[in-house]
Amino acid sequence: MLIQPGELLAQINSPADLKKFPKEKLVQICDELRQYIVDNVSVYGGHFGASLGVVELTVALHYVLNTPEDQLVWDVGHQAYGHKILTGRRDRFHTNRIYGGLSGFPKRKESEYDTFGVGHSSTSISAALGMAVASKYRDLPKKQHVAVIGDGSMTGGMAFEAMNHAGVSDTNLIIILNDNCMSIDPNVGALKDYLTDITTSRTYNKAKDEVWKILGKLSKFGSSAQEVISKVEGGIKSALLNQSNLFESLNLRYFGPVDGHDVNHLAEVLNDLKDIPGPKILHCVTVKGKGYAPAENGNQTTWHAPGTFDKVTGEIYKKTPSTPQAPKYQEVFGHTLVELAEQNDKIMGVTPAMPSGSSMNIMMKAMPDRAFDVGIAEQHAVTFSAGLATQGLVPFCNIYSTFMQRAYDQVLHDVCLQNLPVVLCLDRAGFAGADGPTHHGAYDIAFFRCIPNLVVSAPMNEEELRNMMYSASTHNGPYSIRYPRGKGVMPEWRTAFEQIPVGQGRIIKEGEEIAILSIGHIGNYAVEACEKLTKEGLNPAHYDMRFVKPLDEELLHEIFSKFKKVITVEDGCLMGGFGSAVIEWMMDHEYQAQVKRLGIPDEVIEHGEQIELHRECGFDPEGIAAAVRSMTAVTKI
């Protein structure tokens, strides 16, 4: 359902249309853009607070820059709804994050204005710098290269790698730091404290504006004046802040902090910055959720991605369950970790900036000195956990499967080669859903099962998750547990802990002719498929293998001795996944059987509800049943 835009926004189908308006109209355009985001997200869901926080910045950028020739890169991209609406996608925006519709993040193949595909944080400065260096090397017509990065994303190490390089690059890169003191949860770390110092230092800010007015204007007088100005400015700033400016120490000229909600001032500042040579950073202070009171003044974590809500009252709609609902896997993780930590004082918790997303916040609240949010720093989270483990502690390091991709070497090099007892909990494993391919946890089985010493497990339900966590806490080595986004199947999940011997699978259902081997939560789809098939007179067996590594060899000998037709099912990539492991084992042990693997094919699967993507790839319950039917001998006469 198309939502009607405001009078001016209705006339803007590109930044060129935006530029036709006098600057006196910019405030109204911001108001209409903000309202359009509220109107759409309240009905269709998605990320919310971040886009509201950069409405003025987005309008100012597209008003001043000559996009798409001037290249604009958004970090993470969850804040780019305004960008999408102003760049020709207003009338498709109601399809945002919906199967077959717009992506929830900038995507190159979606628009020429989306100069770089994003979704994982802290990549924007590297990408924009690459574009800037390439333009210079190819002697392309002068254009601007701008990275917009949040204070949370600035805690990602990659951002510092990029600034370290930018500082010695002969480019005119503009970095815009969108500082709202928030990540998804409140931002953390020494960088946050530093930014707060700058933002709240009255002496600095009062003098800074005066200095800028003088120096900023003078900066148009050739490069020699530039040198002097830059030194004078840097010296004044350091003196006022009684510390050197972090960014200027990296040879980035620092400007700000400026009010990120004053669209006309932002436009003036950006116009000035365009003419100042060399890499520079503009520090913008904004409020996440700005302009929508419940998001601006309420729990900003909740309003990061609230789902659908009543835009008048601010009431967030909850799906009221008719029957007692199973909990989310993340909640089972969070509560179980506290239970285990109460019994075992060696257990610690580590999350890279996802306290609420992973439910690590439950332990952070209950045991604040034993659970750590380390910022958007997955590599650090893993090796920090390895350090804890060397001192006899048992860290549970919880990282979304997709974000774990960023810490692969740390798992291999720092944890597994040293055989340290770190428990890696991979939440959002399998299809993530509406976040799409940048967030699908599609590859972790494949990239983990080849690492020596690492146990690779996946629970089929909440009870299994609890018992795997319990078993992992006493396993003297690296142990990974993967589970999906969303709910399990057991409303009564607080069961007593039981050890699961490493590598032990289990039979779910006896059967004949065909054996279905599943791994993880997707096994519940196999249960549904078997229920369908039983009504059709078919009787496949079903095994929950529980472990990809080590495989339950005793069970596999039993299966391949009894069945000549096997179907494997995984919510993960087929290339090198669980099905591949089973086939390798079968060949190594000289069994012969017809094996059909169900899972994620070797292609990019876009966004949609999880069940829509499972159906697209043929491993929803009906897909599994269809596979059994196709493998079953011709209908019995």
Ligand X SMILES: CC(=O)[C@@H](O)[C@H](O)COP(=O)(O)O
Ligand Y SMILES: Cc1ncc(C[n+]2csc(CCOP(=O)(O)OP(=O)(O)O)c2C)c(N)n1
* 388 near Mg ion, rule: CB under 5 A: no
Select the binding partner of residue 482 from Mg ion, ligand Y, ligand X, none (C-beta < 5 to 8 A, by kind): none
Options 143, 280, 406, 485, the catalytic residue: 406
Q: With respect to ligand Y, which residue has the nearer C-beta, 53 or 437?
A: 53
Q: Which residues contact 429 (CB under 8 A, 6 or more apart)?
A: 401, 441, 444, 458, 482, 483, 484, 520, 571, 572
Question: Minimum distance between the CB of residue 51 and Mg ion, rounded to whole angstroms?
Answer: 12
HEC sequence for 547-585: EEECCCHHHHHHHHHHCCEEEEEEEEECCCCHHHHHHHH
Q: Which run of H or of E encompasses 463? A: helix 462-472
Q: With respect to ligand Y, which residue has the nearer C-beta, 53 or 484?
A: 53
CA distance 637 to 631: 16
CA distance 146 to 73: 6
Question: Minimum distance between the CB of residue 151 and Mg ion, rounded to whole angstroms?
Answer: 4
Residues binding ligand X (CB under 6 A): 47, 76, 78, 184, 305, 357, 428, 432, 435, 485
**Pattern 474-513, binding to ligand Y, x per CB under 6 A?**
----------------------------------------
572 is in an annotated binding site: no
Please give the radius of gyration of the chain, using alpha carbons only, rounded to the nearest integer: 27
151 is in an annotated binding site: yes
* 182 near ligand Y, rule: CB under 6 A: yes
Q: Which residues contact 385 (CB under 8 A, 6 or more apart)?
A: 348, 350, 395, 397, 415, 422
Binding to ligand Y (CB under 6 A): which residues in 140-179? 150-153, 178
Under a CB-based contact definition with an 8 Å cutoff, are residues 283 and 267 in contact? no
Q: Which two tokens stand for residue 73?
A: 């890169």
Select the binding partner of residue 403 from Mg ion, ligand X, ligand Y, none (C-beta < 5 to 8 A, by kind): ligand Y
Instruction: Give the long-range contacts of residues 445-448, CB within 8 A, separation 24 or more.
Output: 445/482, 445/519, 445/548, 445/570, 445/572, 445/573, 445/576, 445/577, 445/578, 446/572, 446/573, 446/575, 446/576, 446/577, 446/580, 447/405, 447/408, 447/576, 448/411, 448/480, 448/548, 448/549
Under a CB-based contact definition with an 8 Å cutoff, are residues 571 and 484 in contact? yes
* 289 near Mg ion, rule: CB under 5 A: no
119 is in an annotated binding site: yes
Question: Minimum distance between the CB of residue 118 and ligand Y, rounded to whole angstroms?
Answer: 8
Question: Minimum distance between the CB of residue 249 and ligand X, rounded to whole angstroms?
Answer: 30
470 is in an annotated binding site: no
Please say if 56 is a catalytic residue.
Answer: no
Options 89, 280, 288, 546, the catalytic residue: 288
Q: With respect to Mg ion, which residue has the nearer C-beta, 15 or 152?
A: 152
249 is in an annotated binding site: no
Q: With respect to ligand X, which residue has the nearer C-beta, 32 or 179?
A: 179
- Known binding residues for Mg(2+) are 151, 180
Residues binding ligand Y (CB under 6 A): 50, 53, 76, 78-79, 120-121, 150-153, 178, 180, 182-184, 288, 353, 376, 403, 406
- Known binding residues are 78, 119-121, 151-153, 180, 292, 378
> Active-site residues: which are they?
288, 378, 406
